[in-house]
Structure 1
Amino acid sequence: MNSPLRTVTGPLPATAVQGPVLAHEHLALDLTRSADRAALLKARHAAAIADELADLREGFGLSLVIELTCRGMGRDFATLARISRESGVAVVAGTGWYHEAFHPAEVDGASVEELADALIEEIASGPGDDRVLPGVVGEAGSHGEAPSDPEVRTLTAAARAAVATGLSLATHTQLGRGGLAQLELLTAAGLAPQRISIGHQDLLDDPVAHRELAAAGAYVAFDTVGKESYQSDTARLRLLLALLDAGHADRVLLSCDISRHCYLVGEGGQGYGHLFRSFLPRVRAAGADEELIDLLTRRNPLRFLTGGDDGTAGSGTADLRDRAGKEALA
């Protein structure tokens, strides 16, 4: 983990991250459509978000947020930098393209080469006058069992840009579906599986698919923790324990994917801290020790970002459910 992290306030040694990392969040975005006007986190919400993150830094040691709002999603690097400075929590920002419904006009008719060049330029120089450099590619999206033709182009370009710049890549899947197809496409473009996180797998009740992704070397993102309207945390816990028991603790990423202002604590939502306040206590009750919690919440996301390997494969996974007892899986 020698490569510095590219944060919105400048380079940060990975060794400086001593506390947990939220591996897939949004701090500034605009996904509003006529049928959904609440998928919004704007500059006016920045103070409340910074307060939440500062509280998590004080209470749980939160050190870093991987912010995966990319092109066409209302990305706002200036607001990200403000939130990071006010909260004292480092933020890594993303680039790339979300799924087809949110592709900006620049995607239309552009070749893979043109799209990859655009990302490489942005990673090197930053967008506009913000002077903020993306530190991860994502969340690069598809919206079905297989990517559409435009999504094939944007995902392939994202993978080529990640290879060219040494960044890692995080994806969006539709309710967890299509992850294996994404992994095949991204690795065919030359990106190593350990530089790939397949998103929203906690929404897919398919332990076999999770094991296949992890066995191939990709990170399996359980990144919508607390979104009970999509999937219960009880089901998430069951799926997580199954993956841990299969020996893949070193391939799990955890986060909450806060993507609308009504999820903020100040508006009565679960907030960015749901992982720490609610879900991780249940993982501990299921038998996880602090070494395993640190692996899931700090070492794994750092290894994902840097492509490093800290030799922790399989740590803390043995017989987790047996130690927990059957009640943990109820």
Structure 2
Amino acid sequence: MHTTLHTVTGPLSYEAVRGPVLSHEHLVLDLDRTGDGGAVLDPVRHGPAVVTEISALRDAFDLSLVIELTCRGMGRDPRALAAMAQETGVAIIAATGWYYEPFHPSEVASASVETLAASLVREIEDGCDATGIRPGVLGEVGSHGDVPSEPETRSLRAAARAALTTDLSVATHAQLGRGGLAQLELLTGEGLPAQRVAVGHQDLLDDPGIHKELASRGAYVAFDTVGKESYQSDDTRLRLLLALIAAGHADRALLSCDISRHGYLASEGGQGYGHLFHTFLPRLRAAGVDDDLIDLMTRRNPLRFLTGASTEEI
């Protein structure tokens, strides 16, 4: 394991993260392909509201770290993230990699796995977009469907190779929860240990068998769209998470809200980044999940994922 996290404001010891972690969020984002402006979190227009929410969660719940998974082709803005970290007092980790195929920039089209991996390694070592700000995770590296497409396969394999070279971990985007096992096969096939993989959006897949299989192989199972009721009810999320816990895999669960458009902000009537803390975690506690398990899923697990630590080490 490594003990230092690469945040947008510099290195941070994992031991300094004493409060909960949001393991999959977007603070700055542009996925608008239609011109309607919905799938956007603009740092100028929406940044103040984002800062207000994150600051409030720091004050109320001791929020200590946000893993920000906006990568190449998603409107990433490392300087804006650094400014938000300074303003909120909450550490932020930036990401690199490529989202799923419809959002791939042209650089992915015909590049080899070796070329793509080398590009990621350069960015991890030298910083994003000539800013000097180093990403601290690969993600959200995406695919859609039960089997990744050919470009998505190259992107995933490149992410695995870059992760091995730089000692980082990989968080995936599994569209609507599908294809997680295929993603894990590709990533581990490149030699990446399963404990360095978080398979995304599994709370959108109503299949506890797959969740248990991913966890039993050692991967982290991300319940990371909490509160997105238009995709999946929190009732279903709660049932699926309790099943994973009952199967003995609480040490593989990650929780977050994946705020990915400005309409989800609390200031615009959405559930906000705080939905996990204000609404979902109280429901978990009411279902019998104790504070130690809450800390496991919201702090220790994300830190283990980022550092490669075993359950005994953190």
Q: Hey, what's the Cα distance between the residues in 1 that align with 2:303 and 2:105?
A: 30
Q: Hey, what's the Cα distance between the residues in 2 that align with 1:288 and 1:198?
A: 23
Deviations along 1:10-47, whole A, 9 cap, x unmatched? 00000000000000000011000117530001111112
User: Are the counterparts in 1 of residues 117 and 161 from structure 2 also a CA contact under 8 Å?
Assistant: yes
> What amino acid sits opposite 1:166 in the alignment?
D
User: Are the counterparts in 2 of residues 223 and 256 from structure 1 also a CA contact under 8 Å?
Assistant: yes
**Secondary structure class of the residue paired with 1:291:** helix
**Secondary structure class of the residue paired with 1:27:** coil
Deviations along 1:260-318, whole A, 9 cap, x unmatched? 001111111110000000000000000011111100100000000000023299xxxxx
**Match in the other structure for 2:26:** 26
**Match in the other structure for 2:177:** 176
> What amino acid sits opposite 1:276 in the alignment?
F
Q: Hey, what's the Cα distance between the residues in 1 that align with 2:47 and 2:64?
A: 18
**Match in the other structure for 2:42:** 42
**Secondary structure class of the residue paired with 2:175:** coil
User: Are the counterparts in 2 of residues 2 and 13 from structure 1 also a CA contact under 8 Å?
Assistant: no
2:16 is the alignment partner of 1:16: yes
Deviations along 1:121-180, whole A, 9 cap, x unmatched? 000001233111000000000011000000000110011000110000000011100000
> What amino acid sits opposite 1:53 in the alignment?
I
**Deviation, structure 1 residue 244:** 0.2
Q: Hey, what's the Cα distance between the residues in 2 that align with 1:35 and 1:147?
A: 27
> What amino acid sits opposite 1:165 in the alignment?
T
Change over 3 Å in CA distance of 1:143–1:36 after alignment to 2:
farther
Q: Hey, what's the Cα distance between the residues in 2 that align with 1:47 and 1:285?
A: 34
> What amino acid sits opposite 2:135 in the alignment?
P
> What amino acid sits opposite 1:9 in the alignment?
T
Moved more, 34-43 or 155-164: 34-43
User: Are the counterparts in 2 of residues 71 and 95 from structure 1 also a CA contact under 8 Å?
Assistant: yes
User: Are the counterparts in 1 of residues 2 and 308 from structure 2 also a CA contact under 8 Å?
Assistant: no
Deviations along 1:191-224, whole A, 9 cap, x unmatched? 1000000000000000000000000000000000
**Deviation, structure 1 residue 62:** 0.3
Structure 1 unaligned spans of 5+: 314-330
Correspondences of 1:255-294 after superposition (within 5 Å): 255-294=256-295
Q: Hey, what's the Cα distance between the residues in 2 that align with 1:150 and 1:296?
A: 32
Q: Hey, what's the Cα distance between the residues in 2 that align with 1:154 and 1:246?
A: 32
> What amino acid sits opposite 1:124 in the alignment?
E
2:161 is the alignment partner of 1:160: yes
Deviations along 1:100-140, whole A, 9 cap, x unmatched? 00000111110000000000000000123311100000000
2:132 is the alignment partner of 1:112: no
Q: What TM-score do you get using the length of structure 2 for normalisation? A: 0.98
Deviations along 1:49-72, whole A, 9 cap, x unmatched? 111101000001100000000001
Correspondences of 1:190-269 after superposition (within 5 Å): 190-269=191-270
Change over 3 Å in CA distance of 1:212–1:226 after alignment to 2:
same
**Secondary structure class of the residue paired with 2:182:** helix
Please give the root-mean-square deviation of Cα atoms over the aligned residues, in Å.
1.2
User: Are the counterparts in 1 of residues 251 and 311 from structure 2 also a CA contact under 8 Å?
Assistant: no
**Match in the other structure for 2:99:** 98
2:296 is the alignment partner of 1:295: yes
Identity percentage over the alignment? 66
Moved more, 71-80 or 128-137: 128-137
**Match in the other structure for 1:121:** 122
Q: Hey, what's the Cα distance between the residues in 1 that align with 2:2 and 2:219?
A: 21
Structure 2 unaligned spans of 5+: none
